[in-house]
Amino acid sequence: MRPTLQELGIDQLSSAERLRLIGDIWDSLSPLTETEVPTSHLEELDHRLDDANASPETSRPWNEVRSKLWGEE
């Protein structure tokens, strides 16, 4: 049986702490997993990059977004 959020104490973490934990878990999996990215995902990424390049004034730098997500403002 897998542990619950409550058993692990994750339900007691702040949103910023949970986001950091998600990042840590993701980073721990990245080198271990090799999954193929679906073509539809690649096409969507291309579409979003085209939109971003067409309207760069609507974008925000990653460090600004990351700081807001991680509660570092």
pLDDT over 80 (residue 15): yes
Higher pLDDT, residue 12 or 27: 12
pLDDT of 30 reads 65
**Cβ contacts of residue 15 below 8 Å, gap of 6+?**
71
DSSP 12-70: GS-HHHHHHHHHHHHHHHTTT---PPPHHHHHHHHHHHHHHHH-GGG---HHHHHHHHT
* Structure confidence at residue 1 as a pLDDT band (50, 70, 90): confident
pLDDT of 73 reads 62
Instruction: Give the tens place of pLDDT for each residue, 24-68.
Output: 998 888 666 677 888 999 999 999 999 989 998 888 888 999 888
